[in-house]
Amino acid sequence: MSAPNTISVVILDKEYRVSCSAEERSDLECAAQFLDEKMHLIKQSGRIVGLDRIAVMAGLNITHELLAENQKKTGISLSFNDKIDALQNKLDFAISSFSK
């Protein structure tokens, strides 16, 4: 990993300087752009005023999306495990029937 560099990102028209490694730069820039877009959408709605409140709402929305996506993945994983268990039971039954 390379030494940290300082880069500038702009979020809701305000510049922030952030340290990151060269390998993380692209990911950090994408994250900053994503956050900027979320915060602009919240600001444009006109219902929430103040940078801190907009930032908290954006954080809550992003966290909610992340948790919902993780729950989907967990559900898919459980579904696959259930199918594997069912197939294993069928194989066990078929093998025990064949050997009798």
Residue 25 contacts residue 7 (beta carbons within 8 Å):
yes
Kindly tell me if the per-residue pLDDT of 2 is higher than 80. no
Domains and CATH numbers, the chain: 5-98 (3.30.160.880)
HEC string for the chain: CCCCEEEEEEECCEEEEEEECHHHHHHHHHHHHHHHHHHHHHHHHCCCCCHHHHHHHHHHHHHHHHHHHHHHHHHHHHHHHHHHHHHHHHHHHHHHHHCC
How many whole angstroms separate alpha carbon 26 and alpha carbon 32? 10
How many whole angstroms separate alpha carbon 18 and alpha carbon 76? 36
Model confidence over 36-91: pLDDT tens digits?
A: 999 999 999 988 889 999 999 999 999 999 998 888 877 776 677 777 777 787 77
> In the prediction, which pLDDT does 87 show?
76
Kindly tell me if the per-residue pLDDT of 35 is higher than 90. yes
